[in-house]
Amino acid sequence: MDITHLTPDAEGSIEWPSFSNDKKAVVTLGAFDGMHLGHQAVIKRVVELAHQHDAFSVVILFDPRPAFVHGWAASHHGEEPAVQNVDAEALTSVDDRLHRMEQFGVDHVLVVHYTLAFAAMSYIFFLGRLTGKLGMRTLVLGQDAAMGKGREGDVKHIANLAAATGVFELDVVDDRGPGEVRIPRDFKPEAPSEWGEPVDPLADATKAERRAWSKKNQAKAMRAWSSTNVRYLLAHGRIQDANAILGAPHSIEGEVVHGEERGRTIGFPTANLGSDIAGYIPVDGVYAGWLVDGENRWPAAISIGTKPTFSEKTGLNERVVEAYCITEEWIDLYDHKVRVEFVGFLRPQVKFDGPDHLVDELKRNVEETKRLTA
């Protein structure tokens, strides 16, 4: 898979590459944050159509996420985020998304540095460049896709443009998932108070109860397969519901650093991730999952907490991620870049009446982790 990084100029224009005069391209575009089942359906369709028409499969990947750029500008007097400003809301790193695209068999990924000037371009001009430069014969989009200035280029307008010009086709993929969900507007992470995997608060609610809940929480209807929904679920400890949308365990990556080593003194040494963590960190709590180091993977009980100290990179309080690997052997992981995968929520963070009570609870956490990862 070929990867090309592109940066718009001050006016938002991009020097698009040319692949071949004799071979067309099937194209899609977006941030694809989380690479959930909806994203997978779109990208698989791109690869399928490219094979059918002997064309290149091309993904235009926006980095940073458009939502992050626009949100930052709205709260910083129109300024765009700098390179050192970290998008703490991103579900997955760009490298992780690229790896998944390669697994799906994509030929070319064009990583476009998303800017406000680029966002202000007309969708008609933008699509004209894709047909003229990339040789786009088919554009594949999800049902809710929109692009260009003011998001004017929705599926309906693009379909009309394709029909009027006859230079490309639009293929719309069902990427919404089963039904709709309701997500509170401007939700904040909220740690579960009970032991065990949290359940959907509206699972058994009547229509009247759903309306009351939506009104109280200023909730809005949203498609089930969405990055926002995954983010909401992870922010409330609902790991299994999030993983069902992702089609795989949610994961984060970071380098193992030296911690305070308090776990070692009670027989539970942990791998502590440094502050530069890629991927969305779920709400505080103790989780079951896996720790992956290259080809090696071990079941792990994972603890997540929040420090009172402030991170200048994210603008948020610093998070602490510690993973206890369930293995008979001593593992030296210092300075290793590892992946932590989540499979279930075990319990909230609580204070215990001394080390003996803590050890007893940790033993229970280990047994439950073994069950969930078996």
Domain boundaries, the chain: 2-173, 180-246, 250-373
pLDDT in tens, 6-17: 999 999 999 999
Are 233 and 345 in contact by the 8 Å Cβ rule? The answer is no
Per-residue pLDDT at 264 exceeds 80: no
Looking at residue 53, its amino acid is H
Angle between helices 239-246 and 227-234 (to 10 degrees): 160
| Other Cβ atoms closer than 10 A to 167 | 13
DSSP 4-55: EEE---TTS--------SS--EEEEEE--TT--HHHHHHHHHHHHHHHHTT-
Q: Which residue has the tokens 């510690």?
A: 322
Per-residue pLDDT at 21 exceeds 90: no
Are 231 and 65 in contact by the 8 Å Cβ rule? The answer is no
Lowest mean pLDDT among 172-181, 184-193, 263-272: 263-272
Lowest mean pLDDT among 18-27, 29-38, 302-311: 302-311
Select from 157, 64, 58 the least CA-distant residue to 116: 64
Looking at residue 49, its amino acid is L
User: Across all residues in the chain, what is the average pLDDT?
Assistant: 94
pLDDT of residue 259: 79
d(CA 115, CA 12): 7
Read off the tokens for 161.
């443009």
Local confidence band at 20 (pLDDT 50, 70, 90 cut-offs): confident
Local confidence band at 122 (pLDDT 50, 70, 90 cut-offs): very high
pLDDT in tens, 194-210: 999 999 989 889 989 99
26 backbone φψ class: left, alpha, beta (φ>0; ψ -120 to 50): beta
Q: Which residue has the tokens 């007309």?
A: 122
Select from 21, 101, 95, 24 the least CA-distant residue to 55: 24
Local confidence band at 310 (pLDDT 50, 70, 90 cut-offs): low
Select from 190, 230, 59, 214 the least CA-distant residue to 136: 59
Start-end of H helices in 76-154: 94-104, 116-119, 123-129
Q: What SS3 class is residue 298?
A: strand
Local confidence band at 312 (pLDDT 50, 70, 90 cut-offs): low
> In the CATH hierarchy, which fold is given to the domain comprising 250-373?
Elongation Factor Tu (Ef-tu); domain 3 (2.40.30)
Angle between helices 37-52 and 94-104 (to 10 degrees): 40
Candidate CATH numbers 2.10.210.10, 3.40.190.10, 1.10.10.10, 3.40.50.620; the one for domain 2-173: 3.40.50.620
pLDDT of residue 330: 81
Q: What is the phi/psi pair of residue 255, to 5°?
A: -95, 135
Per-residue pLDDT at 59 exceeds 80: yes
Name residues whose C-beta falls within 8 Å of residue 272's C-beta, 6 or more positions apart in sequence. Answer: 256, 257, 258, 259, 320, 321, 322
